[in-house]
Structure 1
Amino acid sequence: MLQPDERLLFRISALTADAHRIHYDVPYCRDEEGHPGLVVHGPLLALLMLELVRRYAPERRLRSLSYRLRRPVFAGEHIAAAGAPTADGAELSLATARERRHATAEVTFSRAG
């Protein structure tokens, strides 16, 4: 579980050179974009889902990741990742108390060889 705050979002913006104000400027985010708070970066959400794979299948090599952002996550929300194995990979998702599926992903693993 992760609860992103303003500092983390600012650091991710700097790391990824993402200058969109919805990630670091609260008044802009609320007043201009109509969001209740800062928006968590999509790539950070994808990394959070991939953390499940790293933690529970560290010996496996990824072949592909396909993800879809469905609903925004806002700073301060608790985010929980969940996943289930498939025949050749895993299906992943992110939830908050507000929404069951903010993001979904499919991972496939490289074949052993």
Structure 2
Amino acid sequence: MAEVHNQLEIKFRLTDGSDIGPKAFPDATTVSALKETVISEWPREKENGPKTVKEVKLISAGKVLENSKTVKDYRSPVSNLAGAVTTMHVIIQAPVTEKASSVGSKSVVDLLTERWCCV
């Protein structure tokens, strides 16, 4: 019984509503390791799957999870109920390339840092 208590059943909800899992993870599992699981189990038939941990954001209970934290850090009281499965939402954010980050002759950073005012 203690072994079950030290694990969390997690399913990963993709943006199209499909799921990866559920699968049991020990409390000591890092968020980074969860992201690696998402990458390795990404459905092959889906396009634009993540390639690196940096491209994956996990959201649970409205919080974006930090890579260095563990499953235990984000455990909720509801997850202790028998048969409870925690759903984490997966957001894929492709890295911005140098070419894609420029708009005309100005970069995105330049556009964001310009000061606009009304007269």
Instruction: Report the TM-score, using the length of structure 2 for normalisation.
Output: 0.28
Q: Which has the higher contact order (CA 8 A, sep 6+)?
A: 2
More helix as a share of residues: 1
Q: Rg larger in 1 or in 2?
A: 2
